[in-house]
Amino acid sequence: MTVKVTARGAERWKQGHPWIYRSDVADEPEKRPAIVPVTDRKGKFLGKALYSPSSEIRLRLLTRHDEPVDAAWWSARIAEAARRRNGITATAWRAVHAEADGLPSLVVDKYGPFVVAQLLSAGLESAREQVVEGITQALQPDGILLRNDVGVRRHEGLPAEVLLAAGEVPEVVEVMEDGVKYLAAPWSGQKTGAFLDQRENRILVGQHTRAGGRALDLFTYHGSFALHLARHAKEVVAVDQSAEALARGAENARLNGIANIAWREANAFDLLRELERRREQFDTIVLDPPAFAKTKANLERAVAGYKEINLRAMKILAEGGVLFTSSCSYHVSRDVFTAMLVDAARDSGRRMQLLAATGAAGDHPELLNVPETGYLKGVLLRALP
C-alpha cells in the first residue's frame, strides 16, 4: 500500500519535520497501521513512514531511501543513537529520544542492563516485533519493558498498557548518578521509571549547593535533587504532596547513607507561604514542579502558578543563595518562562543573577526543525546581597 501526500505535506519533510498531518494526505487506500512508502500525487517516491490511520499525525518519516525497514534497520538506527551518547557515566540514560534522533515516536531508555521503551504511534506499534528485535541487537539488554501506558497513545487508537517484551525486568533498578545512588521503578514510576531528563541539572545544582547551608527541594518526587543537595548542605527539606513518593525518597537516602534530609508531606504552594511568613531562609532552593500547562488553553493560569512559587522562593532565598527553577510544560516557551522570572525577580525586590539557562540533559536532545522535541527549561539564579 502506498500513501500519497500533497505538495504541502512533501514540503514539511523537505524542511526537516517528520510529521505529515491528515489534511496533507491525498490518498490512503487502506486504513491499516503500517510502515508505508509515500509518494507525491504524481507517484514520485518521497520516503518510507510510519502510518497511523486514525491519528491527526498520519505519517512520520523514517527514511528517504527506498530500503527495507526491518529489524536490522532498527538495530542500526538505535545503535547509532546510543553511540551519540558516548561518555555518560550515569548508569541510566536515554538511548533514543524519538523525533530528535530521527526515530519518531520511539523512546528507548537504558537502566543498567535493562531497557524501558515506549512505542507512541500506531505505525510504530505495527512494527513492534522488529523494533524489539532491533533494540535487542543494538543494546543486548537483559530485558525489555514497554511502558506504553502513555496518554498520547489514545490519539493513535492504541491501548495504554505495560508489557514485558523480552527477558526480565525487575520492579526496582539501582541507578548510579555522579556518586549518588537512587532506585528507579521501571514498571510503575513516572515516565519510564525516573526523571532522566533532569540528570545534568541535578549535577549542576549539586555543584552550586552551599556547603554547610540549608537547602529546600520542592516537588522532590523520589528525592533525586535532594540527594545531590544533601552531599553539600547541612540540612535539606524535601517536599512533596505524595507520601508514597517521599517514602521512596527516604529509601534512596538510606541507600546512600544520607541522614540530613527531612521528608515533608505538604502542598508546595501552602508551604512556601508558611515559610515566607515565618521568615525562614534557604541557601539553595530547587523548584521542579509537574507541568502546570497541560494544554495551551490554561497557559495563563499556569504562568501565574509558576510566578507564585518562583516569587516566594526568591523571597526566602538567603543572600548569595542559589535557586534552580524549571518547567517541563511544552506550552510554556523559553521566552515566556524567562519573562515570568523577570517579573518574579522585580516583584520580589531581589537582584537575581543569571548563572545558567539549561534544558534537558544531552541525551534528550532538541531538534531545531521539530520544536515539539523541546519541553524542559531550567534556570539557575543567584540572589545578590
String marking each residue 289-308 x if it binds ligand SAH according to CB under 6 A: xx------------------
**One residue of 101, 109, 156, 288 binding ligand SAH per CB under 6 A:** 288
Burial state string for 286-307 with b = 16 or more CB within 10 A and e = fewer than 16:
bbbbeebbeeeeebeebbebbb
**One residue of 91, 128, 149, 269 binding ligand SAH per CB under 6 A:** 269
Distance CA 298, CA 202 (A): 28
Distance CA 183, CA 171 (A): 10
Question: Are 88 and 74 contacting, i.e. CB atoms less than 8 angstroms apart?
Answer: no
268 interacts with ligand SAH by CB under 6 A: yes
Minimum distance from CB of 188 to ligand SAH (Å)? 13
Minimum distance from CB of 329 to ligand SAH (Å)? 12
118 interacts with ligand SAH by CB under 6 A: no
> In this chain, which stretch among 73-81, 239-247, 293-301, 329-337 interacts with ligand SAH, using CB under 6 A?
239-247
Distance CA 45, CA 284 (A): 56
For 272, the grid coordinates are: 512556601
Distance CA 152, CA 92 (A): 24
Distance CA 88, CA 350 (A): 37
The residue type of 236 is V
Rg of the chain (C-alpha set): 22
240 interacts with ligand SAH by CB under 6 A: yes
Compare residues 133 and 177 and give the one whose CB is closer to ligand SAH. 177
Closest CA to 115 of 99, 92, 97, 98: 92
Minimum distance from CB of 364 to ligand SAH (Å)? 13
Compare residues 34 and 266 and give the one whose CB is closer to ligand SAH. 266
**One residue of 229, 245, 332, 361 binding ligand SAH per CB under 6 A:** 245
**One residue of 2, 188, 267, 369 binding ligand SAH per CB under 6 A:** 267
187 interacts with ligand SAH by CB under 6 A: no
19 interacts with ligand SAH by CB under 6 A: no
Question: Are 328 and 196 contacting, i.e. CB atoms less than 8 angstroms apart?
Answer: no
Closest CA to 173 of 187, 190, 160: 187
Distance CA 177, CA 188 (A): 20
String marking each residue 314-353 x if it binds ligand SAH according to CB under 6 A: ----------------------------------------
**One residue of 198, 252, 329, 373 binding ligand SAH per CB under 6 A:** 198
Tell me if residue 99 falls in helix, strand or coil.
helix
Distance CA 225, CA 2 (A): 49
121 interacts with ligand SAH by CB under 6 A: no
Question: Are 104 and 133 contacting, i.e. CB atoms less than 8 angstroms apart?
Answer: no
224 interacts with ligand SAH by CB under 6 A: yes
- State the number of binding residues for ligand SAH (CB under 6 A): 19
**One residue of 13, 225, 324, 337 binding ligand SAH per CB under 6 A:** 225
Write the CB contacts of 146 (distance below 8 Å, at least 6 apart in sequence): 116, 117, 118, 119, 161, 162, 163, 164, 165
Q: Show which residues are catalytic.
A: 328
Compare residues 79 and 266 and give the one whose CB is closer to ligand SAH. 266
Contacts to ligand SAH by CB under 6 A: 195, 198, 219-222, 224-225, 239-242, 245, 267-269, 288-290
